[in-house]
């Protein structure tokens, strides 16, 4: 499978039709217009396949049977990343759910060590909490303000990892502190908050770059109290979306996409069961059940999502009546841009961790010289 034909290419630079790829040494050796080259034909029924970069998920709490906070070795972090690559996600920010400072420091060390082994798969880290106000499924006993010691730890983590995203509530981490984080090169997201529109706007002005999982665990949109949802959509700020049909109704999703075109960043919010057949796992000592496409605590509180990023793209395309070529960049280009990374480009010398789409579905992965089916998660 050294050459691939019968395909269109879509990356962060746009769409190129009727292209051919050649792979050598595990990298892209040639990216050219199709001109009769012989190779593995990816087209089906006369329709060319769409090839994109593997997807990039900036909110992955776990996978392969573990939450990130439960990992004890770099190998376990790498296993989590590989479980998601099997579903079509080539790169991710492993995400630590609210925990104590000692766990945060340990996880930073683990992710840094794993990143040294697989830098393309693990470009950084996402800390969701503990500096939040609305617990949701997080352990409410571990929520706390951000101290100077925390700031120093995060500055060191940013220097080691390259990319650090932190979700905070602006009533807990005020705009002045958000400005400090931003000055250190840390990307700040707003979430798990009951803040009003004015405070949210001040937090964005201070440097916050996005809202974490829009609509969920945040002050909602009311015509007299726009909240974080209203502030985000009003200024066109990027926002994460969990497109499983459970966290956000398809109608609300369409409203957000129309209100702020180009701002959506699709995320999985995946948990420990991702990549496994397990029907339950433990979160901060509480049992989370996997049933009917939901992950929930005993009281029905949602605790992450039972979703792959490929499924999220497929869902949004179906619900918004759009083509994959319009929606897929929300899951590989938008995440990179919100972190300040260069748009992903499929070019000579580049990665061969690619994704093949046919008929509105993500169907296969290109991994070096191998072409393998996408697993459902």
Which of these, 194, 193, 200, lies nearest to 167 by C-alpha position? Answer: 193
Residue pair 320/255 in contact by the 8 Å Cβ criterion: no
Question: Could you tell me the CA-to-CA distances from 120 to 57, 95, 208, 231, 371 in Å, in that order?
Answer: 12, 16, 25, 33, 19
Given 244, 269, 306, 333, the catalytic residue:
269
Question: Which residue from 372, 348, 357, 351 is spatially nearest to 1, judged by alpha carbons?
Answer: 372
3-state DSSP assignment of residue 55 = strand
Rounded Cα gap, residues 179 and 5, in angstroms: 48
Does residue 130 have a cis peptide bond before it, meaning omega lies within 30 degrees of 0? Answer: yes
Alpha carbon distance 97, 283 (integer Å) = 9
If we measure between CA atoms, which residue out of 266, 341, 354 comes closest to residue 308? 266
One-character DSSP codes across 254-269: HHHHHHSTT-EEEE--
* Residue 42 · residue 6 · CB < 8 Å: yes
d(CA 125, CA 81): 12
Catalytic: 269? Answer: yes
Q: Is 215 left (phi over 0), alpha (psi -120 to 50) or beta?
A: left
| Residues noted as catalytic | 269
């Amino acid at each position: 499978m050294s050459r691939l034909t019968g395909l269109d290419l879509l990356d962060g630079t746009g769409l190129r039709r009727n292209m051919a790829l050649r792979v050598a040494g595990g990298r892209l050796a040639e990216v050219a217009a199709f001109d009769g080259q012989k190779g593995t034909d990816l087209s089906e029924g006369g329709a060319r396949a769409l090839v994109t970069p593997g997807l990039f998920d900036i909110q992955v709490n776990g996978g392969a049977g573990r939450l990130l906070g439960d990992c004890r070795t770099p190998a376990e972090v790498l296993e989590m990343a590989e479980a998601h690559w099997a579903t079509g996600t080539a790169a991710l920010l492993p995400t630590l759910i609210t925990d104590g400072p000692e766990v945060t420091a340990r996880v930073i060390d683990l992710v840094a060590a794993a990143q040294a082994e697989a830098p393309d798969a693990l470009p950084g880290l996402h800390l969701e909490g503990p500096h939040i106000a609305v617990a949701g499924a997080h352990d409410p006993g571990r929520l706390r303000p951000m101290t100077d010691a925390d700031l120093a730890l995060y500055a060191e983590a940013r220097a080691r990892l390259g990319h650090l995203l932190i979700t905070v509530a602006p009533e807990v981490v005020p705009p002045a502190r958000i400005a400090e984080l931003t000055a250190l090169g840390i990307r700040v997201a707003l979430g798990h908050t009951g803040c009003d529109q004015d405070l949210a706007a001040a937090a964005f002005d201070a440097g916050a770059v996005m809202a974490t999982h829009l609509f969920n665990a945040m002050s909602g949109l009311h015509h007299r109290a726009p909240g974080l949802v209203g502030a985000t959509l009003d200024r066109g700020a990027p926002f994460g979306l969990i497109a499983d049909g459970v966290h956000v109704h398809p109608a609300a999703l369409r409203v957000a996409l129309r209100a702020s075109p180009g701002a959506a960043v699709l995320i999985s919010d995946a948990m420990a069961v991702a990549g496994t057949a397990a029907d339950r796992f433990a979160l901060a000592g509480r049992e989370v059940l996997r049933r009917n496409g939901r992950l929930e605590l005993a009281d029905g509180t949602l605790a992450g999502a039972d979703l792959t990023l490929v499924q999220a793209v497929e869902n949004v395309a179906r619900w918004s009546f759009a083509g994959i070529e319009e929606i897929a960049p929300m899951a590989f280009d938008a995440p990179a841009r919100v972190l300040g990374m260069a748009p992903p480009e499929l070019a000579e010398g580049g990665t061969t961790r690619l994704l093949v789409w046919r008929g509105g579905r993500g169907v296969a992965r290109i991994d070096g010289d191998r072409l393998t089916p996408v697993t459902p998660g």
